[in-house]
Amino acid sequence: MASNMLTLLRLSSTMGASTARRLMVATAALIGVGSVFYMVSDMDATVRRKLSARVSLMLGEEGFVAHHAERLTTETSRAIRPFVWHLQHNFQRMVEAEEHKRADHLRRRRTAQDSQIYFDELRIRAQDLANAVRLVSSDSSMC
């Protein structure tokens, strides 16, 4: 920086005082305008950053996230509840229908087993009667 100043002073001695002064004023004005332009252009980002930090801090202090998470959970549960009830009701009806089918199947199976026992006993009695008839017919042929 000092060497730049010395270079400027040497230049001013060769150019003349009034030209050097105008050059310095123009340079200072250009630096000032550039600084103002930079501050104005950076102001938007700075303001957004500061506002974002403030809003985050305020929302964290007030429990905003926890409150709205609880509210969303409650609303979602309230919205889903009828569908869950309908699903449970349909499932219960399906279970009852399957229980009725199973009971009907067990009843038919018991009836079939009872019928099987009856017909087995009937077959045995028919065979006994057939044997008795054969014995009678063979006894009568001997006489």
Question: What pLDDT was estimated at residue 113?
Answer: 96
Average pLDDT for 4-17: 68
For residues 54 and 137, give the distance between their C-alpha atoms in angstroms, rounded to a whole number. 118
Model confidence pTM above 0.75: no
Question: What pLDDT was estimated at residue 74?
Answer: 92
Q: Where is average pLDDT lowest: 1-15, 44-58, 81-95?
A: 1-15
Residue 68 lies in a domain: no
For residues 127 and 137, give the distance between their C-alpha atoms in angstroms, rounded to a whole number. 15
Question: What pLDDT was estimated at residue 16?
Answer: 66
pLDDT band, residue 124 (cuts 50/70/90): very high
One-letter amino acid of 82 = P
Number of domains in the chain: 1
Output Rg (C-alpha) for the chain, integer angstroms. Answer: 54
The first and second tokens of residue 21, run together, are: 């002064």
Q: What's the domain range around 11?
A: 1-40
pLDDT exceeds cutoff 70 at 12: no
Check if the beta carbon of residue 59 is closer than 8 Å to that of residue 65: yes
Residue 23 lies in a domain: yes
Average pLDDT, rounded, for the chain: 85
Average pLDDT for 40-67: 82
